[in-house]
Amino acid sequence: MSLQKTIESDYIKAYKAKEEVKVAALRMLKAALKNRQVELLRELTDGDVIEIVGRQAKQRKESIEQFDAAGRMDLSSREREELIILEAYLPAQMSDEELAAAIEAAVAEVQASSMKDMGAVMKALMAAHKGRFDGAKASAAVRARLS
């Protein structure tokens, strides 16, 4: 079963079980998936779905930070619940050790020697491990490795 169909069936189950937060999170995700499908004029692959889920999760994380800064713990807690739901559809994130090993492999692959090669290293890293790591964390680690 494709990831998109899994999301659809989970939405229906949550709707029937009257799980308000899960229904809201999955409804927003389904809308984002539908928009992207219309944009591309084709069925979405699991890779496309993972990318969209990742984008939605990132939006939730940013919202949580803003709500916490504004002292809106009620809204922040709801966003946290939605984030947990969305993260269930993402592949397992790489550990720091795995990320360091992947960075070393990417550096060796592109024969990087200076900060000028950072873009090439990140490109190789993204190609090999897309969606399995936080881009900002990887960028900082690559920068530290190359400097």
The answer, yes or no, to whether residue 106 has pLDDT greater than 80, is: yes
Domain match, 22 and 70 both:
yes
Report pLDDT digits (tens) over 137-147: 999 999 998 88
Residue range 103-131: mean pLDDT, rounded: 89
Domain match, 65 and 133 both:
no
The answer, yes or no, to whether residue 131 has pLDDT greater than 80, is: no
Report pLDDT digits (tens) over 20-70: 999 999 999 999 999 999 999 999 999 899 999 999 999 999 999 999 999
Q: Which of 107, 109, 95, 110 is nearest to 147 (CA)?
A: 107
Determine contact, residues 134/112, Cβ cutoff 8 Å: no
Assigned token pair, 129? 């491990």
Instruction: Extract long-range pairs of 4-13: CB within 8 Å, 24+ residues apart.
Output: 4/33, 4/44, 4/46, 4/49, 6/89, 7/33, 7/49, 7/89
pTM of the model: 0.79
Domain match, 46 and 64 both:
yes
Predicted pLDDT at 130: 79
Domain match, 7 and 48 both:
yes
Beta-carbon count within 10 A of 17 CB: 10
The three-state secondary structure class of 140 is helix
Domain match, 9 and 74 both:
yes
Report the CATH number at residue 43: 1.10.1510.10
